[in-house]
Structure 1
């Protein structure tokens, strides 16, 4: 079984810590397990945790006024996820966070994050780099959704998320792409028959 110290070295790749710093990290990062189907927080809750996925798969989903689901993000091993609007602004979440399979995470509350940055300042630049990459990925996703056909969005999804595509239900993928499950089936049939 892997020790917490080696797990934290795995999470914060490229950052070296003293034993004292690793002890502190062990205090602020809480290991949690979620069963498939667990709702971690719901739309309109306040999301006060940022989660690092150690194993499993989570998704954020927004339910619009008509009751339609819009999957915003999938997260697998070595990804971070939360409702960042809620987490950073202490407002109600726009999204629900759901476990799509049994998942183990390391959770960092907003209050602990502020102390964490103060106690171990070198982590702040690591987190900023991760958030910059996430921000760039979200911008790319917006551009793809606005400018590509449904078929091209699916091909981009396969290119970006090939390691999880088989784990997801069709309606999860369709809601991520902004199409119906019937459209997704048509696109797949067209691709596999060509």
Structure 2
């Protein structure tokens, strides 16, 4: 089922001419992704960014010891890609996996650049999203460095209220920087009557 990009909150309030709307519509490709599918693997070229309409994706990398580290979950109204590779035009270091059936809009790098040049209001929207993601990453780094595991878990629940029970424990534990055993202990402590 095809979704009109202008029914999505982030786009529907943009003041655009009919021509600008058609240009934007032509630059995005809607994709349906099933749970377990990968949209990007380490070592691949990164030529696009994905806008999440529904479902949930995660970015992760695998260290030299084979351990997975989840960097990001992307849900409705989030953009996701391997931004390091995308901006530096290098091969992907990260993997992107669908962890809940999802619908995304994909835009190629050359199309995104074209939209940013031709349509100032779209450029502003994209810039706001990039700035927001930079802020988000810095907050995440600060939380990892300064918060307890319980505080990080509570922050996750606040940020992603609808996905906790739909994702695997080891994905959440790796995102929080803890073991699955520690995650179970934290949940047990929080659910125990005081």
TM-score of the pair, normalised by structure 2: 0.93
Q: Distance in 1 between matches of 2:184 and 2:17?
A: 52
Confirm or deny: 8 A CA contact 2:5 2:11 kept in the other structure.
Answer: no
Confirm or deny: 8 A CA contact 1:5 1:22 kept in the other structure.
Answer: no
Unaligned runs of 5+ residues in structure 2 are: none
Residue in 2 aligned with 1:33? Answer: 32
Q: Distance in 1 between matches of 2:108 and 2:2?
A: 23
Q: Does 1:6 align with 2:6?
A: yes
Unaligned runs of 5+ residues in structure 1 are: none
Q: Distance in 1 between matches of 2:32 and 2:187?
A: 34
**Matched residue SS, 1:12:** helix
**Matched residue SS, 1:57:** strand
Residue in 1 aligned with 2:18? Answer: 19
What does 1:141-156 align with in structure 2 at a 5 Å threshold? 141-156=140-155
Relative to 1, partners in 2 of residues 1:4 and 1:13: Cα closer, same or farther, differing over 3 Å? closer
Say what the alpha-carbon RMSD is for the aligned residues.
1.6
Deviation, 1:11, is: 3.1
Deviation, 1:167, is: 1.6
What does 1:66-105 align with in structure 2 at a 5 Å threshold? 66-105=65-104
Residue in 1 aligned with 2:45? Answer: 46
Confirm or deny: 8 A CA contact 1:11 1:78 kept in the other structure.
Answer: yes
TM-score of the pair, normalised by structure 1: 0.93
Total equivalences in the alignment = 193
Q: Distance in 2 between matches of 1:62 and 1:5?
A: 30
